[in-house]
Amino acid sequence: MVSVATRHAEILDGRPLAEQIKREVAIEVARLFQEGAEKPCLAAVRVGEDPASAVYVRNKVRACEEVGLASELHALSESTTTEQLLELIGGLNRREEIDGILVQLPLPEQIDEQKIIEAVDPSKDVDGFHPMNVGFLAMGQARFVPCTPAGIIELLERNKIEIAGTAACIVGRSQIVGRPVASLLLQRHATVTICHSRTRDLAAVTRQADILVAAIGRPALIRGDFIKPGATVIDVGINRVTDIEAAHELFGNEADDRIDAIKRLGYTLVGDVHPAEADLIANRRTPVPGGIGLLTVAMLMRNTLQAAKWRRGLD
């Protein structure tokens, strides 16, 4: 076996690219919406007090400030009903000064999530989840691309990683990541395979991929023997690790910083890919944290700007 000292995958850091995309959005906002003009506005809706959702929404509101977008936060109680949330969304749909609507998922179990997704005006659906926007994406005529898949494509293209003619494998078939990223890769002439919980001999399938996207929501599921030597591995997962011994095994030479995090915070984060084993085999991989999550927020800013341009006849 190749040692960690002699083989280490290149880390595809999402931070500099996310900052670059946000700078591009900020320049465009300043150009199109001069002083005195009404800024594009994102309305973010959060239901309940889930700590992870609160952090995600807070990061999105902060990013709006950074790029010069206006934002509104609507924080609703855990007991909110489907009807109450539909009423709020209907009001946001009618308000001309609102350009984008984000409903943070998942929602509490008493709320009909599909009804909520379908209630958002497709022209304000900056998450790209409305069936109309899903259909446009499937036809290769995307209006709003879901933010995480859009960030994955930006990462590949701006790092000049070849897509056309490659074998790509996505582990996970969600409407939020797996299926849309498969469509985007297919439109760029990759040969695409989607794997899921019923896939037989998952490792044998993923080992064929030049580009491997892990979005299954299971910590460190993708081990070294799942990866083709020299592959590019995109890790979308965000999972908590609280055990120090597990951190030793997962992070290898980088375990000390992760163990410090566990001692300070009670946890550290790992994706759906086993990082120490992936580093022995892959040519490139994204880190968790610091990878695709940052790009997701940056692409939301770009989608909100695009919504404002379309709605105001500026594009």
Q: Is residue 185 located within the same domain as residue 84? A: no
Q: CA triplet 37, 38, 43: central angle to 5 degrees?
A: 160
Instruction: Check whether residue 122 and residue 187 sit in a common domain.
Output: no
The pLDDT score that the predictor gives to residue 5 is 43
60 in active site? yes
Measured CA to CA in angstroms, residue 19 lies from 22, 77, 254 at distances of: 5, 33, 25
Query: Does 259 map to a domain?
Result: yes
- 277 and 228 in a single domain? The answer is yes
Which one from 99, 121, 125, 127 is the annotated catalytic residue? Answer: 127
Do both 150 and 106 map to the same domain? no
Same-domain pairing of 65 and 156: no
Query: Is the domain of 173 the same as that of 54?
Result: no
- List Cβ neighbours of 234 (8 Å cut-off, separation of 6 or more): 12, 152, 155, 156, 211, 212, 213, 214, 285, 286, 291, 292
Contact between 285 and 9 (Cβ < 8 Å) = yes
* Residue pair 275/250 in contact by the 8 Å Cβ criterion: yes
Q: From CA 279, how far away is CA 127, in angstroms rounded?
A: 32
Query: Residue 53 domain-assigned?
Result: yes
Tell me: do 164 and 265 sit in the same domain.
Answer: yes
Same domain? For 181 and 273 the reply is yes
What's the pLDDT score for residue 4? Answer: 41
Domain identity same for 173 and 271: yes
Q: Do 70 and 159 belong together in one domain?
A: no
d(CA 45, CA 159): 33
Q: What CATH number did the domain enclosing 191 receive? A: 3.40.50.720
Query: Does the active-site annotation cover 104?
Result: yes
For residue 84, give the CATH number of its domain.
3.40.50.10860
Tally of domains in the chain: 2
End-to-end CA distance of the chain: 54
Q: Which of 22, 104, 235, 279 is catalytic?
A: 104
Element spanning 311, H or E: helix 292-311
Residue ending a domain, among 131, 155, 188, is 131
* Active-site annotation holds for 39: no
Q: Per-residue confidence of the chain (315 residues) as pLDDT tens digits?
A: 344 445 589 999 999 999 999 999 999 999 988 766 789 999 999 999 888 888 899 999 999 999 999 999 999 999 999 999 999 999 999 999 999 999 999 999 999 999 999 999 999 999 999 999 999 999 999 999 999 999 999 999 999 999 999 999 999 999 999 999 999 999 999 999 999 999 999 999 999 999 999 999 999 999 999 999 999 999 999 999 999 999 999 998 889 999 999 999 999 999 999 999 999 999 999 999 999 999 999 999 999 999 999 998 886
Q: What is the pTM of this model?
A: 0.94
Longest C-alpha distance within the chain, in Å? 63
Domain that holds residue 200: 146-293
Q: Is the peptide bond before 51 cis (omega within 30 degrees of 0)?
A: no
Determine the pLDDT at residue 50. Answer: 86
Q: Which two tokens stand for residue 65?
A: 């400030």
> Given 107, 131, 155, which residue is the final one in a domain?
131
Q: In this structure, are 154 and 107 located in the same domain?
A: no
Residue type (1 letter), 253 = N
Q: Identify whether 269 is part of a domain.
A: yes
Instruction: Please tell me whether residues 172 and 112 are part of one structural domain.
Output: no
Residue 141 domain flag: no
